[in-house]
Every structure is written in C-alpha cells, then in structure tokens.
C-alpha cells in the first residue's frame, strides 16, 4: 500500500515593511528640533552629538566671523547646529555648526525662530572624532548642491582646514596658513591655527 505525501509547503516571504513616512522640514523641526538628528530626503537620521573640543572650535569660528561681520555689517552669523533646509520634496535639513547669511539673502530683522529656509553663503563644519570622512563629505556635498558658495571643514585632529567650492578643487590649509574667503567675506583673514587654540 502506498502512502500519499503531502505537498511541500512553500515559505511565503514576509511582507516588506512599509517605508517610513517622509517628514517635511517643519514637521522634523517640531518633533526633533532638540538636536541629535538630521532629515535626509524626508527620513530622520541620527547624528552624533559633539563633544567639548568640537564646541570650543565652533565658538572660535563664530567669534572670528562675528567680529568681522560686526565691523563690516554684511549679514548674520549663526551657530549651535542651526537647522538649514537644503532641499524640498522630499526635504533635507542639516544642522550647520556655524554659518553666515548675508543681509541680501536674509534681511537684518528677518531671522526665523524655526528652520532657516534660505541658503547660507558660507558654512563651517567641525569634524568630530566620531565623524567618518564619508559622512562629512556627504554633508558638504549636500550644502554645495543646495547653493552654499563655500564650505569649510575644520579638523581638530590635524589642525587643518579643507575649503570647498562648487566649481573649484578642494583647498587644503595647514595651521600656519591663512584662511581667506574673498568670494563671500572680502577682507576676512584668519590663521587656521587660531581656531584650535
């Protein structure tokens, strides 16, 4: 007598998880505006929180820029990971360590309480020890694609500055060299090492 075998069961793949809901910059700011996150193409991503050395370098940058801009009323200097809307549909925001926005771009009395919806002319980013260069470069490219004219990345470990512009090669400056930004802040000049003192 023969035995009938049951047909093999076919494992069905589990349904794919639903993609995360895309947020606008304003929704992101309301929910995550306390820091530690960025919005990339509508999706919330976690970012590392900076340490003490990082904060000190940011203060030095903000001080040098603010002193120059106060003497030459050209625009606003902002720091503390100011949230900048870089792209819409889906939205991308980045928290700039220090940025400069001219009065031509953002009138003197028009600084918003929420995200910055105009593109700064100049952004400084300070590399943290936990930041891989791939992430730093991705952030820099987001800024340039959005229309930022100059992005300066300061690396406390090497006490150097990397300067990026949309159409130019990267400019590397060591601690004893002078950083100038004539296309955004004519007359501004700081020896790179001063940011790391």
Q: 45-62, pLDDT tens digit by residue? A: 777 666 788 889 999 999
In a domain, 108, yes or no: yes
Enclosing H/E stretch for 27? helix 25-32
Quick check: is 21 in a domain?
no
Report which secondary-structure segment, H or E, holds 70: helix 52-71
Residue 92 maps to a domain: yes
Say if 24 falls within a structural domain: no
Condensed to tens digits (0 to 9), the pLDDT of residues 132-157 reads 899 899 999 999 999 999 999 999 99
Q: How many domains does the chain have?
A: 1
The verdict on residue 25 lying in a domain is no
113 within domain boundaries? yes
Domain holding 103, by residue range, is 49-196
Domain CATH code at residue 107: 3.90.1570.10
pTM summary value = 0.83
- Residue 154, in any domain of the structure: yes
Residue 104: partners with Cβ closer than 8 Å, 6 or more residues away:
75
In a domain, 69, yes or no: yes
């Amino acid at each position: 007598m023969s035995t009938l075998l049951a047909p093999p069961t076919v494992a069905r793949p589990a349904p794919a998880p639903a993609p995360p809901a895309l947020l606008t910059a304003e929704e992101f700011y309301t929910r995550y505006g306390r820091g530690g996150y960025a919005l990339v193409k509508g999706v919330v991503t976690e970012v590392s929180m900076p340490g003490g050395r990082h904060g000190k370098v940011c203060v030095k940058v903000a001080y040098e820029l603010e002193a120059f801009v106060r003497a030459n009323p050209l625009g606003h200097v902002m720091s503390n990971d100011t949230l900048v809307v870089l792209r819409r549909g889906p939205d991308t925001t980045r928290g700039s360590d220090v940025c400069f926005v001219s009065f031509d771009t953002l009138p003197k009395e028009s600084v918003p309480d929420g995200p910055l919806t105009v593109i700064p002319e100049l952004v400084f980013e300070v590399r943290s020890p936990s930041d891989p260069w791939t992430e730093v470069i991705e952030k820099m490219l987001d800024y340039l694609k959005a229309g930022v004219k100059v992005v300066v990345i300061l690396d406390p470990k090497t006490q150097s500055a990397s300067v990026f512009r949309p159409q130019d090669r990267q400019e590397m400056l060591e601690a004893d060299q002078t950083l100038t930004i004539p296309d955004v802040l004519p007359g501004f000049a700081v020896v790179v090492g001063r940011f790391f003192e």
